[in-house]
């Protein structure tokens, strides 16, 4: 086990695409870290540089205390699990799992009996001990994925690297396997770096998540901190479903305090935000409201504001319902409200907004969250 450290790591592919741009990350020993972001943001390239499958153009990569930039993949003591499993089709499950150990048996000083013990132990851990004689083609997708993980476990590596390992599985199995991977990592305590484009997978798996865009780390923090204190509008929009609503408007002065004028309603802002917003008074800004920040009835306690809306569509989800709505000034808003409350399409009503939970961003797709550090808490941009 080991920490993994990237310092100003950059990758420019031949042809000039800068896939990874000065990424610095300190991944702690035993940590489960998830690289997440839209397709093409550079997460696989980052992982492949750690694995040694791509050479870094500049910057350093350390595994433990050792700089590994020039160390070939096989000598980095890491195990990688891919989306396509990459199992040997002609070998049994047992042989697939034992293969890399047999190859390096002398180097690792392992007896055949020790290899056998490792393979069987890993198989039990993954619940595939009854499948050891089967060939990969006689396995389901989930079972193949377990074999691929088993093959990584037996090597007892310094770190596991996972590249979208669950994307080929159906939705139900994906949820099961991700819980299993999390349990396994807790048990083995092996430093794990996991790549996914799925923000929900990232939120549920990571001790910390690293949100990337265009090769640049936007935020690196525990999942809840990223959710509650996104550093910018990109991160705010990427994490959470349905995504955060963004209302265009202005910060205005009202009754000795500040308010957000969204064009049709003026929403008083709580005093806790005045310090961070004072310098933006009279400026065009963007108000961020999570879907569950809306409610049909006044939320208990706390400051709330009323927003006049027209309901266009209601999607019942059982205990909750998603309400798609507009104001004269805002084109598309979605609120997630209590499922038992009656709201119908075409209805005009006042929605309440829990103003303790709103965010205020500078304009633009990458607008900085000027309220991310409210209450003295530090949002960590990496
Ligand atoms: P992600 O894993 O986030 O989808 P990648 O790391 O695969 O992103 O890719 C990052 C960027 O680098 C993309 O613009 C992609 O097109 C480009 N890229 C990836 N691999 C290569 C390659 N071998 N040659 C040139 N460009 C590449």
DSSP letter (8 states) at residue 272: G
For tokens 């209805």, name the residue: 347
Closest CA to 95 of 149, 147, 139: 147
CA of 46 to the centre of ligand 1 (A): 10
Q: Would the CB of 16 count as within 6 Å of ligand 1?
A: no
CA of 184 to the centre of ligand 1 (A): 30
CA of 246 to the centre of ligand 1 (A): 30
For tokens 């991944």, name the residue: 27
For tokens 């002065």, name the residue: 253
So what's the pLDDT on residue 373?
A: 80
The CA–CA distances, whole Å, from 236 to 118, 135, 214, 227, 288 equal: 44, 45, 16, 7, 8
For tokens 């153009």, name the residue: 57
Q: How many CB atoms lie within 10 A of CB 256?
A: 6
* Of 14, 40, 197, 210, best ligand 1 pocket probe by most atoms within 8 Å of the beta carbon: 40
What is the sign of the dihedral through the CA atoms of 289, 290, 295 and 301?
Answer: negative
So what's the pLDDT on residue 382?
A: 35
> CA-to-CA distance for 196 and 147, rounded, in angstroms?
20
So what's the pLDDT on residue 131?
A: 96
So what's the pLDDT on residue 215?
A: 98
Q: What is the dihedral of CA 235, 237, 239, 242, to 10 degrees?
A: 170
Residues in CB range of 242: below 8 A, 6 or more apart: 291, 322, 334, 336
Q: Would the CB of 45 count as within 6 Å of ligand 1?
A: yes
- pLDDT mean values, one per 10 residues, the chain (382 residues): 95 97 98 97 98 97 97 93 88 96 91 95 93 95 92 94 91 90 93 96 97 98 96 97 96 95 95 94 98 92 91 96 96 95 96 96 97 57 36
> Which residue stretches of 258-369 are H helix?
274-277
Q: Considering the entire predicted model, what is its pTM?
A: 0.93
So what's the pLDDT on residue 380?
A: 37
Q: Which atom of ligand 1 is nearest to the CA of 212?
A: 3
Q: Would the CB of 249 count as within 6 Å of ligand 1?
A: no
Q: Would the CB of 41 count as within 6 Å of ligand 1?
A: yes
* Of 12, 13, 23, 80, best ligand 1 pocket probe by most atoms within 8 Å of the beta carbon: 13
Q: Would the CB of 47 count as within 6 Å of ligand 1?
A: no
């Amino acid at each position: 086990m080991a920490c993994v450290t990237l310092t100003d790591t950059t990758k420019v592919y031949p042809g000039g695409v800068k896939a990874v741009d000065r990424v610095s990350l300190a991944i702690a020993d035993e940590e489960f870290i998830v690289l997440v972001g839209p397709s093409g943001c550079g997460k696989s390239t980052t992982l492949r540089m750690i694995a040694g499958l791509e050479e870094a153009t500049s910057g350093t990569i350390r595994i433990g205390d050792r700089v590994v930039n020039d160390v070939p993949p096989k000598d980095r003591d890491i195990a990688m699990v891919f989306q396509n499993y990459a199992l040997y089709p002609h070998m049994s499950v047992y042989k697939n799992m034992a293969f890399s150990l047999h190859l390096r048996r002398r180097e690792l000083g392992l007896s055949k009996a020790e290899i056998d013990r490792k393979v069987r132990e890993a198989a039990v851990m993954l619940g595939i001990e009854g499948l050891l004689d089967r060939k990969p083609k006689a396995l389901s997708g989930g079972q193949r994925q377990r074999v691929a993980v088993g093959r990584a476990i037996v090597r007892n590596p310094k770190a596991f690297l996972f590249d979208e390992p669950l994307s080929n599985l159906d939705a139900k199995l994906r949820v099961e396997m991700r819980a299993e991977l999390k349990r396994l990592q807790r048990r083995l305590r092996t430093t794990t770096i996991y790549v996914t484009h799925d923000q929900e997978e990232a939120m549920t798996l990571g001790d910390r998540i690293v949100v990337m865009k265009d090769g640049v780390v936007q935020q690196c923090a525990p999942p809840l901190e990223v959710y509650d204190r996104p550093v910018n509008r990109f991160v705010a929009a990427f994490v959470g479903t349905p995504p955060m609503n963004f209302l265009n408007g202005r910060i205005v002065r009202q009754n000795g305090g500040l308010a957000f004028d969204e064009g049709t309603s003026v929403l008083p802002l709580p005093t806790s935000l005045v310090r961070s917003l004072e310098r933006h008074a009279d400026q065009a800004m963007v108000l961020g409201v999570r879907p569950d920040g809306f409610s049909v009835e006044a939320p208990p306690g706390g400051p709330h504001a009323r927003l006049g809306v027209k309901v266009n569509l209601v999607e019942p989800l059982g205990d909750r319902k998603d309400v798609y709505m507009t104001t004269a000034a805002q084109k598309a808003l979605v609120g997630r409200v209590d499922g038992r409350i009656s709201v119908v399409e075409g209805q005009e009503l006042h929605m309440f907004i829990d103003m303790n939970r709103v965010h205020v961003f500078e304009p633009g797709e990458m607008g900085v969250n000027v309220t991310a550090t409210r209450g003295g808490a530090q949002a960590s941009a990496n």
